[in-house]
Structure 1
Amino acid sequence: MTSTAPPGQTPVNERTSPSQAVGGPTPLEEYEASSSTRPPWLLTMTEVKLLGVAGVGFFLDAYDLFIINPVTTMLQYRLYGGNKLPPNLEGFVKAGANIGSVIGQFSFGYAADALGRKAVYGKELMLILLATVLTMTTPTGSLSPDNSLIYLGIFRILLGVGVGGDYPMSASVTSDRANLRKRGTLLAFIFSNQGWGSLIGSLVTIIVLLCYKHVMLDEGKVSKVDGVWRIIVGISLIPGFATLYQRLTMPESQRYKDAVQAEKNRDRDLEKEIRKLEKNQNVETQAMGAHAQPESEDSSSTDSPIGEEKRGEKETAAASADVPEEEQAPEVIATKKDKAHIGEFLAYFSEWRHAKILIGTSVCWFLLDIAFYGINLNQNVVLQQIHFDGSNETEPWTKLFRVSTGGIIITALGFVPGYYASIFFIEILGRKWIQIQGFLLAALFLGILAGRFTELGTVGFIVCFALLQFFFNFGANTTTYCYPAEVFPTRFRAFAHGISAAAGKAGAIISALAFNELSSSVGTPVVLWIFFGVCILGALFTLLLPEVKGRDPDLVYAQEIREDRIRRREMEGK
């Protein structure tokens, strides 16, 4: 989008910085240019606390993703005498959390924009905790095997509602509090908790199995596996309860409170409003413990872990009279997020310039999750290729332990390193470049696996698969989460993020339900070739997206509003 602007001001487009919009450096940019040279990934203690609270949902998401594979294997011995689970019920149990996630992403995303972050944040974690407890109560001893799986799958759907709700909530809460220099890094840090969730899930499984080794292996009490999977599921309650209070008591961000005050402000001077917006953003920077003195972890020592937003409560109150939206300053409309109803959302995205971005974020996430979850929800195929599927083991405990060991190999080699590569390079390379190269390199390694599936040796397969996982995570798996939190204006951010995330989970559901059936009918290499094509499409759809490094979507939206008003006045003048 290129546009005209009043004399002395540069039009705001997707490549225009806030400084260009006002004809000179903003206070935030001046600070960022002159302050400490510490890289964005070196965090202050306040930021660490924020990320610890906001990241727990993604930790639990990945923890659940990992443990459902060994848990379903354990249920084979508890419910079916070691035989495989019915394919339809196994698919239901594995896809249950993703089905619930779609519901949670839509509902919590809309609620966060309509009601405010504070009113909603923490409720999704309460659902996760409740569903986890109910999952542990699965009455395997009193229900039939099939009904036990149905019971488990139903409460995994509820678990998914909470996990899905965490996507737009944590993304919006973090993006609202982040300055431009660190925004992508903070979001990537939050999402990296998926890597730790997978790693801890595999470690917990191994440790609990070791504790049960004597009773299961030496004494032959295989039924005790019922206790193993319940303990593994229940341990996820610890980080959830540890952060629940902080979520429920987190105040609104300073940006939110200023936006509500500004909604009643009659002052419509453009330059004054833009500078006020940027000044508020600078306040956020100081509140996050990143002031130019240089950055000190103790600079907000008087604040609560997430309560630094209270610094701005004594700002000058705006005029109390209500002002019609048509008469409000563009910057007011761009940043307010109370009562962003569905009609406003639809009006905004009815324009192609906005709709194409939502299509891009949603389709890219959808395509990514088809391949990513198709691989990671069906790791039995991978474990078989690296000889860690336990197929040669006769004892149930030995098989379970070997499967868990193979899982930790996969996680350690690809998951965690990929996430941290994104953290270190996201502010250097930008989101668009990382996403495109991630899709293309994932396609490359999927093509190698598909073409040489039966010829690769164990070492070759492990190396190729580890690189595939690395470029999933140093690529689209991270950036598809970051993009919606950075590209959409505050007013529509949470709901747009929820829609994008729900599209991703829809891809995960399709892949989880179809992978096994397709593999048995056409062969695993053909399925991998399908994933190859999906990744190529993902790289192409990324071209719909602007680069968001250093881009303030609220200023872009404010400029669009101002241009529309000028255009309407010119039309009326004619």
Structure 2
Amino acid sequence: MAHTHQLNILAALDRAKTRRYHLAAAAIAGTGFFAGAYNLYSVILVYMLLGRVYFADSARPGEPGMLPPDAAAALNGAVFCGMFVGQLAFGWLGDRIGRRRAYGLALALVAVCSAASGLSFGRTAKAVVATLCFFRFWLGVGAGGGYPLSAAIMAEYANRRKRGAFLAAVYAMQGMSILLSNAVAMVVAAAMPEADYVWRTILMAGAVPAALAFYLRMKLPETARYTALVAGDLRSAATDMSLVLCATIREQEIDASVRGVDDKWGLFSVQFLRSHGLHLLATSSAWFLLDVTYYSQNILQKDLLGKLGWVSHSPVVTMSAVEEVSRLARAQALIALCGAIPGYCLAITLIDVLGRRQLQVAGFLVMTLSMLTLAALYEHWTSHIAGFMALYSVAFFFANVGPNTTTFVAPAELFPARLRCTCHGIAAASGRAGVVLGAFGFFPKKGADGEYAAGIGTRNELFVLAGTNILGMLMTLFVPETRATSLEVLSKEVIYEAVDDAACN
């Protein structure tokens, strides 16, 4: 541990007023995170068009072409596996070569593979899907890497008073990606009559924000915390801290701040297990349990919208593939505007006021009550699908306010700088495992008429989802509150003397 008897320069970073470099870091981290999310949330529209374009011949007379279940599973599995690998690999890489360099590699991968996805080729439908799977896997690797890297960059730049809001704002770009991906789809569908060009253009548009974030990243230096605490380059750290603090920092001051930091033990050591083992288990478990519930509804969205009349239930009769995509994009954009984005905005507002743990517990609690209500009144909802979707939307609104945001924030704050990206990557990869279970473990059951029974899942599945939310709430109790506390204190790297915040203003 480092015990200093002067104003610690690392603490000064936590107490600094919000300045241009804070906003620049938020913009760059947010743009990169947006680029990865765009490619994930535009896929439901792409899959619909792939079925119409390449599998129309295999459909029964009078029915539209649909992407076969095995092809959809392969495409989803490719990107999920890629994200799992990317979260672990780039998490480790961010702690080895630096956040800035690793983030550049991840963004370059997203940009290249977004463009390449739109150029997927093949003589047969299966060949096109196979090529797309290849590019989607590597796209997932880059997008997965954005989770630990964008979180670590923002956490290490932000001051402690607004750190939660900055991190939540980065994650809120996920909501903006849903909105913009559907806006792009509507514009492209209006401009292009050919369905094969539409899905390719939607995917290739994802390269634009990734390339922009890559360019902007070159203008941002490595985080001063990584440079000082991990790389040990005190001269560069002093220069970087001077920019953030708008004051002249000498190398000797940095040396006084980091002298004596215990940096010998690693992830698989007894010391880590004693200090942070429970934290890693709790953050990873909560993220896993949240994503089981959160992503269980994605595969049901189109059918719910069809039952509400927002999109056609028989598109082959009433509209073309491009028109159906346009209508579905409008419906999803409306859902994002009414649910996802307000939820993220409320999280940004409350996270540094109420704290991470209270928001996470409250979110899991509302989700639990919503699922139990839906399950208890299951027979009633079969004939009132609008009420079902309204209550289901309440659950996911509070998920965005609470655990869907806080599970991203907490792992970026609890662990030492030398292991921050690695541990965040492990927690995020655990969440990705929950995504797989939620997306593939709760498929709606079809009856003999080909319709989904009761519109969504079964009563037992809703009870199971309520149970996962209860477990998530329990695991949250083992996650320490991180609000307004210095990163080095939370990670037990440095102990600061009590210093009045006004000393750095």
> Secondary structure of 2:93's match?
helix
Cα distance in 1 for residues equivalent to 2:146 and 2:12: 34
1:246 aligns with 2:173: no
Cα distance in 1 for residues equivalent to 2:301 and 2:407: 23
- Counterpart of 1:97 in structure 2 is 79
Cα distance in 1 for residues equivalent to 2:183 and 2:378: 28
The one of 147, 150, 169 equivalent to 2:149 is 169
The one of 29, 34, 40 equivalent to 1:54 is 29
1:118 aligns with 2:43: no
The one of 528, 532, 538 equivalent to 2:462 is 528
> Secondary structure of 2:284's match?
helix
| Alpha-carbon offset, residue 453 of structure 1 | 5.1
- Counterpart of 2:420 in structure 1 is 493
1:144 aligns with 2:119: no
> Secondary structure of 2:312's match?
coil
| Alpha-carbon offset, residue 154 of structure 1 | 2.0
* Contact 2:445–2:457 (CA under 8 A) maintained in structure 1: yes
- Write out per-residue CA displacement over residues 354-396 of structure 1, whole angstroms, 9 at most, x where no aligned residue: 2111000111111111111222354224323423242144222
The one of 105, 117, 130 equivalent to 1:135 is 117
* Contact 2:299–2:439 (CA under 8 A) maintained in structure 1: yes
The one of 189, 203, 209 equivalent to 1:233 is 203
CA RMSD of aligned residues (A): 3.5
- Counterpart of 1:405 in structure 2 is 330
- Identity among equivalent positions (%) equals 28
* Contact 1:262–1:318 (CA under 8 A) maintained in structure 2: no
| Alpha-carbon offset, residue 517 of structure 1 | 6.2
Specify whether residues 76 and 534 from structure 1 end up closer, same or farther in structure 2 by C-alpha distance, changes over 3 A only: same
Amino acid at match of 2:87: Q
Specify whether residues 53 and 110 from structure 1 end up closer, same or farther in structure 2 by C-alpha distance, changes over 3 A only: same
- Counterpart of 2:40 in structure 1 is 65
Amino acid at match of 1:74: L
Amino acid at match of 2:295: Y
The one of 401, 404, 412 equivalent to 1:477 is 404
- Counterpart of 1:196 in structure 2 is 176
- Counterpart of 1:552 in structure 2 is 486
Amino acid at match of 1:238: V
- Counterpart of 1:76 in structure 2 is 51
> Secondary structure of 1:544's match?
coil
- Counterpart of 2:474 in structure 1 is 540
Amino acid at match of 1:200: L
Specify whether residues 51 and 377 from structure 1 end up closer, same or farther in structure 2 by C-alpha distance, changes over 3 A only: farther
Amino acid at match of 1:225: A
Cα distance in 2 for residues equivalent to 1:464 and 1:420: 20
Specify whether residues 148 and 32 from structure 1 end up closer, same or farther in structure 2 by C-alpha distance, changes over 3 A only: closer
- Counterpart of 1:420 in structure 2 is 345
Amino acid at match of 2:163: R
Unaligned runs of 5+ in 1: 1-11, 13-17, 37-42, 216-223, 266-276, 292-298, 301-310, 320-327, 563-574
Cα distance in 1 for residues equivalent to 2:134 and 2:442: 21
Cα distance in 1 for residues equivalent to 2:44 and 2:438: 15
- Write out per-residue CA displacement over residues 417-471 of structure 1, whole angstroms, 9 at most, x where no aligned residue: 0111110010110000001111111222233344445634354234323322211
Specify whether residues 99 and 260 from structure 1 end up closer, same or farther in structure 2 by C-alpha distance, changes over 3 A only: closer
Greater gyration radius: 1
Amino acid at match of 1:87: P
Cα distance in 1 for residues equivalent to 2:205 and 2:145: 21
Cα distance in 2 for residues equivalent to 1:560 and 1:424: 29
* Contact 2:261–2:493 (CA under 8 A) maintained in structure 1: no
- Write out per-residue CA displacement over residues 512-557 of structure 1, whole angstroms, 9 at most, x where no aligned residue: 2333266779861333332222111111111111111123342355
Cα distance in 2 for residues equivalent to 1:441 and 1:84: 36
Cα distance in 2 for residues equivalent to 1:519 and 1:263: 61
- Counterpart of 1:437 in structure 2 is 362
Identify the range of structure 1 (59-68 vs 424-433) with the bigger mean alpha-carbon deviation: 59-68
- Write out per-residue CA displacement over residues 56-111 of structure 1, whole angstroms, 9 at most, x where no aligned residue: 23212332232111111111110111232221211221232221011011111111
1:187 aligns with 2:167: yes
- Counterpart of 2:268 in structure 1 is 346
The one of 64, 88, 100 equivalent to 2:70 is 88
1:357-368 equivalent positions in 2, closer than 5 A: 357-368=279-290
Unaligned runs of 5+ in 2: 57-63, 497-505
Cα distance in 2 for residues equivalent to 1:105 and 1:163: 8
- Write out per-residue CA displacement over residues 395-428 of structure 1, whole angstroms, 9 at most, x where no aligned residue: 2244333322221222111110011111001011
Specify whether residues 518 and 163 from structure 1 end up closer, same or farther in structure 2 by C-alpha distance, changes over 3 A only: farther
Specify whether residues 557 and 135 from structure 1 end up closer, same or farther in structure 2 by C-alpha distance, changes over 3 A only: closer
> Secondary structure of 2:251's match?
coil
- Counterpart of 1:269 in structure 2 is none
* Contact 1:432–1:546 (CA under 8 A) maintained in structure 2: yes
* Contact 2:266–2:272 (CA under 8 A) maintained in structure 1: no
Amino acid at match of 2:289: L
Normalising by the residue count of structure 1, what TM-score does the alignment of the two structures yield? 0.74
Cα distance in 2 for residues equivalent to 1:499 and 1:98: 14
Specify whether residues 66 and 469 from structure 1 end up closer, same or farther in structure 2 by C-alpha distance, changes over 3 A only: same
Cα distance in 2 for residues equivalent to 1:509 and 1:543: 25
- Write out per-residue CA displacement over residues 127-156 of structure 1, whole angstroms, 9 at most, x where no aligned residue: 1011112211112xx432223222212211
Cα distance in 2 for residues equivalent to 1:24 and 1:318: 11
1:514 aligns with 2:434: no
Normalising by the residue count of structure 2, what TM-score does the alignment of the two structures yield? 0.84
Amino acid at match of 1:474: V
Specify whether residues 87 and 453 from structure 1 end up closer, same or farther in structure 2 by C-alpha distance, changes over 3 A only: farther
> Secondary structure of 2:261's match?
helix
* Contact 1:192–1:416 (CA under 8 A) maintained in structure 2: yes
Identify the range of structure 1 (421-430 vs 74-83) with the bigger mean alpha-carbon deviation: 74-83
* Contact 2:371–2:466 (CA under 8 A) maintained in structure 1: yes
* Contact 1:333–1:558 (CA under 8 A) maintained in structure 2: no
Cα distance in 1 for residues equivalent to 2:43 and 2:231: 47
Instruction: Say how many residue pairs are matched.
Output: 476
